[in-house]
Amino acid sequence: MDAILSVQDLGISFGNNHVLKSLNFDLYENEILGVIGPNGAGKTVMLNILTGIYKPSKGRVYFRGEDITDKTANERCWMGIGRTFQVPRSFEKMTVFENVIVGGVFGNAMREKDARENALEIIDMIELRDKIEWFAGKLSLIDRKRLEIGRALATHPKVL
């Protein structure tokens, strides 16, 4: 079985600070991979490379066998790589419903009608139906984290 995501000899430096030196791993479909380490170990930097926010200084990233090292964050999202953030980045002046629709329309090129139906299913899954019309900025931190996951799920990621 081929890996859905493969990282080969990944490295990145910021000036003289070598954050990642030679990271290698394969992730297979339906597999859960945990990454642990102390603050400053490079976990977030690694995720920023995998999702196209940063370009590595060396190494390659493959998704479904295709070299995506030079692809943009948008292209990676459209291909099926989803992302959430430690600090939620919801659209605070949009409702829960609108936030999830944005994930489907802009993260997966869904038609708005389809994105609306998809959003209702996801909102049920993340247990925010009772707050569907709330503005994201009015949600508690835990509900904003749920919304962050919901927006990512709306893109129909193969890797999250």
Strand partners, 10: 23
Helices marked H in the chain — which ranges? 43-50, 73-79, 96-108, 112-125, 141-153
Residue 109 pLDDT: 87
Question: Whole-number mean pLDDT of the chain?
Answer: 95
Structural domain boundaries of the chain? Answer: 5-71, 96-153
Give the pair of three-digit tokens for residue 147: 């919304």
CA distance linking residue 60 with residue 38, whole number of Å = 24
Region 23-36: what's the mean pLDDT?
A: 95
Specify burial of residue 58 (Cβ count, 10 A radius: 0-12, 13-18, 19+).
middle
CA distance linking residue 54 with residue 12, whole number of Å = 9
Contact 132, 123 (CB under 8 A): yes
Give the predicted TM-score (pTM) of the model: 0.87
Q: Could you give the maximum distance between any two Cα atoms of the chain, in Å?
A: 50
Each residue's pLDDT tens digit, 84-123: 988 898 999 999 999 999 999 998 889 999 999 999 999 9
Residue 1 pLDDT: 77
3-state DSSP call for residue 100? Answer: helix
Residue of 76, 70, 21 lying closest to 51 (CA atoms) = 76
CA distance linking residue 111 with residue 108, whole number of Å = 9
Q: How would residue 77 be classed by pLDDT, with cut points 50, 70 and 90?
A: very high
CATH 3.40.1710.10 fits 5-71, yes or no: no
